[in-house]
Structure 1
Amino acid sequence: MLIVLVAVLGVVLWARATSTPQVSGEVTLGGLSGPATVTRDRWGVPHIRAQTDEDAVFALGYVHWQDRAWQMDFQRRVVAGRLSEVLGAPALAQDKFLRTWGFQKAAETVLPALSEQARRLVQAYTAGVNAAMAQGQVAPEFRILGYTPEPWKEVDSVSWSKLMAYDLGGNMEDEVLNTRVMQRLGQQGLDEVTAPYPADGPTILSGDELAKTGTQPGAGLDTATLPESAIDALQAHLNAARELGLQAVPGKGSNDWVIGGSRTASGKPILADDPHLALTSPMLWYLADLQGPTLKAIGASIPGLPAIVIGRNERVAWGVTNTNPDVQDLYIEPADASFTQRQEIIKVKGGDDVTLTVRESRHGPVVSDAGASDVGPRVALRWTALQPGDTTMDAFLGLNYAQNWDDFKAALTRYVAPSQNFVYADVDGNTGYYAPGRVPLRDGWDGSLPVSGDGSREWTGFIPFEGLPHTYNPADGLVVTANNKVVPDSYAYSLGNERNWAEPYRAARITDLLTAKPDGLTVQDVKAVQLDTVSLVWQDMKDALLATQPDGELSRQALELLRGWDGNMRADAVAPTVFEAWLMQLQKMAQDELGNAATLNSLSVLKQLQSDGELCRNVAAQIQNCAAELRASLGRAADDLSARLGADPADWTYGRLHQVASNHRAFGDVTALAWLFNHSAPTSGGTNTVNVARPEQGTFRQTHGASYRQIIDLSDMNSSVFIGSLGQGGNPLGDHVSDQQPMWIEGQYLPMSTDAADWGRVRTLTLTPGT
């Protein structure tokens, strides 16, 4: 092992000398029409100034590759299903999943559908990436794995959006779980395992803010069933997605809100956003300031994409959270269904090529048989993000240019997937909200279970753009979104069934905190809300938990630690450790019925405790009711914590277990390399806190959270702030690889400013045109 570590360290140290990007001086590059400057501030954030918009985007592509080359190459390999080429056979299951679904195939239909302006910017970005690649800089990962990245292609600049659509949209995983639940426990079991959204839970829009109201088409559950072998085949795809960090995580989500001037101290809006995604090394986002003659945007970009995804320009600010309408359906194709098929050749490092046969029906790819024609029913996937001609890139580029609400709406008409909650504010004091994207219309069924592909359950179109949820200058001066239910039942269309939405805790807490101060709100107030770690889950459950009769001394001591606790999930406290460990045990209460993969969310646990529900019962464990389950689960939690942290509960400080895990996609679990590429530290927050930090089942690690935070002050744009979860750099021994993480944990921010006076120490690289 020592020899391996020395060898790896030698490679990395040598790679540092050859992979450190040039960040000052001058470099001559083909593909530019005029000079451009890249001024990196003290945190490595580039402030790009160019004489044309295309040159500004060229420079963005250049710095993206300089700082995040491995991340960009890895992301495009994921979309194309080409991980096995560089990682070997362990990545084969992921490649099969990716090729079967056809993410790359869908991405290749995007470019012809984009506007002429978007095509020009994608071309400029691609040229910038390849100009940086030609400089000879090689990321350490390329050295360690022994390969050279291929030139960047235009399709690579739109392909990652397909994986983002998977991560943020659809409900195939819900349909698979719901099928298993219905077949084993029936309709009542479905309501118990996945509790419907509470009738009194907050909605993003109120009834009087709806663009259109009416009566929704009748919807009901279908009765189509699947054999266990088909469910297992579908689950295999979901397992492969999990290996890529793409999965539905209870409590995963995002927050954004916009406050009208009537509620702020300045009289102008404040807009906040913190998307909750997988926390990786390097981090997903790349902060950037992009200034051309008409393109003037600053905020969070994603390496590989030629746009500011979340942020502001000189007049308009925007933020996003996941809407999560139901945009996926599984179809059980009849015996006489026709299919097309294609052969996918997967190259495997150190092994033979693998041929994968992918079949498609008129609904979409067959995702149940991995190419075999004789394994159970053929289940096909229909999904908006796999339909050809996705113009979502037009929408994001349009937002970068938007000057007012009309421009904002016009950009969003091009938005396809994944559907997002966009909040809006402008310097004139206007605020708004829109939830764009293609949302299928279903007549007579709710999409929560697989349906027959015989033609009786077809989409009849999409909700028209004008009918999608939106509001402009709402009377109460406040729009709060936290993946909660979007609209009340008076809305004329269906966005999905009542199990689609995140639990209401974050939305309720944000609204309570913001409305507690009816006017005079400041950026500092908004920071406090973004960073809030008080658990409303604890507030709802504490009466049931504290009434538990412990079954031993250790359990008694653990229970006493919860008495008088205010629910604040601080890293330096002990009570959060006991609560989350206990909640983890309670979330397993359906596993005796559904298997070890079944994990209830906190709302479903609460409903069981409140009703002495059937899921509390476990015949094999001789548990007859919820009181017995509470006693047994407390004992299991206390024993688990004792084994991890020692026999004295007073030493069970939350931060000893609950630590952010920003791990590397390829080397995060490789012992010889994880120490170099991974980044961890104790963090506060927990399940469904506003500063969301749900501990992972079994490890207590925080693997998802606020991947980026921004607070935009429309009264003084340059007093706005932002922060990423880790750092700008990708090289593990380079500058800025993790310098934002301590600030992110402590609740500090960077200036989101286009004014050089706010940048601190700077280094400027001038890009000059050449042949």
Structure 2
Amino acid sequence: MKLFKKIFKIFLLVVVLLFVGVWLFTKTLHPTYNGELELANISDKVTVYYDEVGVPHINAQNQQDAYTALGYVHAQDRLWQMELIRRIAAGRLAEVFGKELVRTDKFFSGLGIEEAASKTIQNLDKNSEAYKMTEAYLNGINQFIDEGAKPLEFYLVGLDKEKYTVKDVYNVFGYMAFSFAVAHKTDPMLTEIKEKLGEVYFNELNGASTENLTLIKNQKNPEIKAEFAKAMNNLLDKLPISPFIGSNSWVLGPEKTKNGKVIFANDPHIGFSQPSVWYQSHIKTPNYEMYGFNLALTPFPLLGHNRNYAYGLTMFENDDVDFYYEENNPNNSLEYKTPQGYQKYKLIDKTIKVKGGADTTYQVKVSKHGPVMNGLIDFIEDERPIAMQWIYTKLENQLLDVSYKMSHAKSLSDFKVGASKLHAPGLNIMYGDAKDNIAWFASGKLYKYRDSLNTKVILDGASGKDEIVEWIDFEENPQAINPDWNYVYSANNQPDSIAGVLYPGYYLPEDRAKRIEYLLEDKNDWTKFDVSEMINDVTSPVAPENIMKIAKDIDVTQLTASEKKAFNILKNWDGHYGKKKVAPVIYTRLWYEFVKNTFKDEMGDAFEQFVNTPFEEKVVAAQVRKDNSVWWDDISTKEKETKQDVVNKSFQNTIAFLQKQLGENVDGWYWKRVTTVEYEHAIGKAGGLLRKFFNVGPFETNGGDQVINNQIYKIDSTGYYKIIAGPSTRRIIDFSDVENSITILPTGQSGNVFSEHYKDQAEKYVNGDFVKMNLNQSDIEKSENKLVFLPKK
């Protein structure tokens, strides 16, 4: 018995020592928000005040010192995020996660992002302020790598810290630009439909892109002072970093606000993840100030404001990716046909390092249009070489100058110069200032093809007939400066004209745009509080219209009591996606059944690539309005089905499914029972204890797809809607009270799981609340957390 007690005491001592050791080790991984640190390459003391949500307010005597400090504090909160995002374009995720990411690495490393970055860096003006501030920022990051704590994630995956260069910054720009593109999800699918089903089926689908449009209006006034697609989706689904998806922004002129000053609102829609996409910081020097939102590894904010002006963005959704069928030389597969004869493909050898496995080597074939996708994406059954032409890698890259200029502008005219330099990705850049100017610029390098060319299908690369014939001057890009309707906005919807025509793109449905216009149009006494309510609005103006179009074809006399009750709830719905609303549950399931019963029989496997795309949403809004359509007939039956057949079958299937899923009581089919949001960490995706430790959530939340508070989910056979994307931040800047402007992040400011700011905004976010963006120096200096950087001796 004594021996047992002795062994137990020893065991207990070991457990206690182990626990204490782990606790002490984790204490070394916490970010440093207080005290003094020495920093090389700064000329004077830099003071960083951390506010109540962990935003660093950086006070420095010059911008060089400020950006060095920014790099350091950004890295200590977000180094893991920086490490992942820099690896995507370089094809280096398999080094961290193993062979499962080899296909993704192969695709991204073959796009030419790194090659384009190298070419850009060679031509950079090393004496420019943008370059010098970028080097200072990277220097701060690298000092943290040398002296700061290695993040827990690095230990868990066995990763060593590695210093950063300007090339990593451009790799981030490249990934951002690619994630904005939509053509790779749509063009191959439409090509397959056209080739396999014919022009009639194709034309009905393609025509939907020019129906039911809420157009962004142009006006300039003076300044006041399918296999392919399936493979693509599979690759992108594995990415540990969020893709960019949509966004809202509106800027109200002084005539529209109660206090007679501009109010600016912006909420970019990006895939949810942990940590949050944006990192906030406030830089102040004697001659410069900016409260900004930075992507990982980007020195200059893409969203920002100060006392003089505010700016933000939404995705333009223009078409800047085109695919071409190349024609190989029948006697030499290393050559392809051009109007001038056969040319040799450029060959680039690539190697992917794989954690726990042998290196993978492969070769990229590049035509004059771009890399050949057949060698980069597995499962492309088409034997014809398909090359991808992407404006991002085709033209000069000035993104560093664009982001620097926007964050350092002195006037609206100065800001416009920065916006005009953007070639890709296409962005709607929004602007408002203290001098009562408001503006919207659809930025990106636009171009024309011959009039009859349909760019939504794969083009002919051999004939020379499908080439770009004209580049459009920026002054012809859609834009509005101080328009006489006194507001500007964007919800990724179609601009009304570019060089006299509707410019091709992958614009999102009109739902959010229509709601924004409806709410803004007649009200002229907007306040910050009103705008905060609007940015959380969850009412769809289009869903009730769709329901009325469907309802007229439902045979009510054949419905059961439960079906009639559900029908009446649906028919009387105002489009509001509240947690305890029943109608959104019925509508969303009915949407799925309607799409499946209309399109799946003809599309086959391509159906899975069709659903859950912006294109599908526009097609369905057009389809419900059609009495006659080639798509109504179910080709798998002998009978010829009508719209009424499809609608009634879809409604009956919907109710039967929901009764099985949620029970017989229709009144209990609450929206909150089928929707949740969880912010997933790349390691938390493994599940179990790691999920609980790293992920944030799950939470109930208001909102639905294509409402202003856009909660984006995939609609499939399960009947549950896991929200995967939404507002990556909400920001409201009121120039009548700029020091009390407000914002919110989905989770928190820090990506360090041991930080108190890892998830301290999460519940506020799902509740629609905000936190202050502090510009008042006296308030900032009251902070409990103060980190001082001293020049290293």
TM-score by length of 1: 0.90
1:492 alignment partner AA? A
> How far did residue 746 of structure 1 move?
1.5
Q: Which of 623, 644, 655 does residue 608 from structure 1 map onto?
A: 623
Alignment equivalent of 1:377, drawn from 358, 381, 384: 384
Give the structure 1 partner of residue 733 of structure 2: 712
Q: Percent identity?
A: 28
Output the CA distance in 1 between the equivalents of 2:154 and 2:373. Answer: 32
Compute the RMSD of aligned alpha carbons. 2.7
2:525 matched residue in structure 1 = 520
**Structure 1 residue 763, shift from structure 2 partner:** 0.5
In structure 2, the residue matched to 1:700 is 721
Asked whether 1:325 is paired with 2:318, we answer yes
Q: How far does residue 346 in structure 1 lie from its aligned partner after superposition?
A: 0.8
Q: More displaced, 708-717 or 602-611?
A: 602-611
Structure 2 vs 1, CA of residues 95 and 553 (structure 1 numbering), >3 Å: closer, same or farther? farther
1:299-357 deviation digits (Å, cap 9, x = unpaired): 31112100121121331211211111111111111223220111111111111111111
Verify the 8 A CA contact 2:428 2:442 in the aligned structure 1. Answer: yes
Residue 308 of structure 2 corresponds to which residue in structure 1? 315
Q: Which residue of 2 aligns with 1:217?
A: none
User: Is 2:667 the partner of 1:663?
Assistant: no
Assess, with a 3 A threshold, how the Cα gap between structure 1 residues 141 and 677 changes in structure 2: closer, same or farther.
same
For residues 226-375 of structure 1, what are the structure 2 equivalents within 5 Å?
232-233=227-228, 235-244=230-239, 252-336=245-329, 337=336, 338-370=344-376
The one-letter code matched in structure 1 to 2:26 is R
Q: Supply the distance in 2 between the matched residues of 1:12 and 1:678 (Cα, whole angstroms).
A: 21
What is the rounded CA distance, in whole Å, between the counterparts of 2:381 and 2:699 in structure 1? Answer: 49
Q: Encode CA deviations 1:46-87: one digit per residue, 9 max, x unaligned.
A: 111111112111111111111111111011111211111110
Please identify, of 237-246 and 36-45, the stretch whose mean Cα deviation from structure 2 is larger: 237-246
Equivalent residue letter for 2:711:
A
Q: Is the Cα–Cα contact under 8 Å of residues 295 and 400 in structure 1 kept in the other structure?
A: no
Matched, 1:440 2:447: yes
Deviations 1:514-558 (A, max 9, x none): 1131x2211112112211111123221122344424665654443
Deviates more, 1:273-282 or 1:761-770: 761-770
The SS at the match of 1:276 is: strand
What residue in structure 2 maps to residue 586 of structure 1? 594
* Helix, strand or coil at the partner of 1:298: strand
- The equivalent residue for 2:152 is 140
1:187/1:138 CA distance change after superposition, 3 Å = same
- Distance, in Å, in 2 between the alignment partners of 1:32 and 1:693 is 43
Equivalence map 1:608-647=2 (5 Å): 608-612=623-627, 613-620=629-636, 624-647=641-664
Residue type at the aligned position of 2:522: A
Contact 1:257 1:272 (C-alpha < 8 Å) held by counterparts:
yes
Structure 1 residues 629 and 136: alpha-carbon distance in aligned structure 2, compared to 1, 3 A threshold: same
What is the CA-CA distance between 1:570 and the residue it aligns to? 0.5
Inter-partner Cα distance in structure 2 for 1:533 and 1:274: 14
For each residue in 1:715-737, what CA deviation from the matched residue of structure 2 results, as whole angstroms up to 9, or x when unmatched? 23212211111111112343111
Distance 1:205 1:637, change over 3 A: same
Unaligned runs of 5+ in 1: 1-7, 212-230
SS of corresponding position for 1:204: coil
- 2:752 matched to 1:731? yes
CA-to-partner distance for each residue in 1:690-740, whole Å, 9 max, x for gaps?
111133223401111111111111223212211111111112343111221
Contact 1:11 1:144 in 2 (8 A): no
Q: Secondary structure at the match of 2:208?
A: coil
CA offsets, 1:382-421, max 9 Å, x none? 1111136411121111111112111101212322211111
Q: Does residue 650 of the first structure (1) align with residue 645 of the second (2)?
A: no
| 2:537 corresponding residue in structure 1 | 532
Distance 2:111 2:229 in 1: 12
Counterpart AA for 2:703: G
| Larger of the two Rg values belongs to structure | 2
Q: Which amino acid aligns with 1:577?
A: V
Q: What secondary structure is seen at the aligned counterpart in 2 of 1:433?
A: strand
Aligned mate of 1:119, from 111, 131, 143? 131
Q: TM-score, normalised by structure 2?
A: 0.88
Shift of 1:443: 2.5
Partner of 1:529: helix, strand, or coil?
Answer: helix
Would the alpha carbon gap of residues 607 and 13 (structure 1) be closer, same or farther in structure 2, given more than 3 Å must change? farther
Q: Confirm or deny: 8 A CA contact 1:537 1:688 kept in the other structure.
A: no
Segment drifting more, 183-192 vs 71-80: 183-192
Query: Are 1:193 and 2:205 counterparts?
Result: yes
Alignment partner, residue 222 of structure 1: none
Alignment of 1:82 with 2:102, yes or no, is no
The alpha-carbon deviation at position 247 of structure 1 amounts to: 9.6
Conserved 8 A contact 1:88-1:351: yes
Which amino acid counterpart does residue 406 of structure 1 have in structure 2? S
Provide the rounded CA distance (Å) in 2 between the counterparts of 1:630 and 1:246.
39
Residues 1:456 and 2:468 aligned together? no
Alpha-carbon offset, residue 12 of structure 1: 8.6
Instruction: Tell me by how many angstroms 1:170 deviates.
Output: 5.0
Q: Sort the Cα spacing of 1:108 and 1:647 in 2 relative to 1 into closer, same or farther, 3 A.
A: farther
Residue 112 of structure 1 deviates from its aligned partner by 3.5
Which amino acid in structure 2 is aligned with residue 610 of structure 1?
A: R
2:298 aligned counterpart, secondary structure: coil
What is the deviation of 1:644? 3.9
- Helix, strand or coil at the partner of 2:292: strand
Unaligned runs of 5+ in 2: 1-17, 330-335, 337-343
Correspondence list, 1:24-103, <5 A: 24-103=34-113
Q: Where does residue 162 of structure 1 map in the other structure?
A: 174
Shift, 1:196, TM fit: 2.9
- Alignment-derived partner of residue 485 in structure 2: 476
Instruction: Identify the range of structure 1 (332-341 vs 608-617) with the bigger mean alpha-carbon deviation.
Output: 608-617
The one-letter amino acid of 2:541's match is L
Q: Cα distance 1:134–1:642, how it changes in 2: closer, same or farther (>3 A)?
A: farther
Residue by residue over 1:102-142, the C-alpha shift from the partner in whole angstroms, topping out at 9 and shown as x without a partner, is 22222333333444111101100111101112224122211
Q: Does 1:180 align with 2:192?
A: yes
Whole-angstrom distance in 2 between the partners of 1:554 and 1:287: 51
Shift of 1:254: 0.9
CA contact (8 A) 1:245 1:278 kept: no
Please tell me the residue identity of whatever aligns with 1:293. P
Letter in 2 for 1:442: Y
Higher mean C-alpha displacement, 29-38 vs 397-406 = 29-38
CA distance 1:721–1:637, shift in 2 (3 Å)? same
- Give the Cα–Cα distance (whole angstroms) in 1 for the partners of residues 22 and 518 of structure 2: 50
Q: Secondary structure at the match of 1:664?
A: coil
**Residues 1:105 and 2:100 aligned together:** no
How far 1:494 moved relative to its partner?
Answer: 5.2
1:182-225 per-residue CA deviation (whole Å, 9 max, x = no partner) reads: 1233333234335534556322124x6599xxxxxxxxxxxxxx
The structure-2 alpha-carbon separation of the partners of 1:561 and 1:532, relative to structure 1 and needing over 3 Å to count, comes to same
Q: What does residue 765 of structure 2 align with?
A: 744
SS of corresponding position for 2:774? coil
2: distance between equivalents of 1:470 and 1:341? 41
**Contact map agreement 1:709 1:724 (CA 8 A) in 2:** yes
Counterpart of 1:220? none
C-alpha separation in 2, matches of 1:160 and 1:501:
24
- Rounded Cα–Cα distance in structure 2 between residues aligned with 1:158 and 1:248: 17
Q: Residue 112 and residue 466 in structure 1: after superposition, are their counterparts in 2 closer, same or farther (change >3 A)?
A: farther
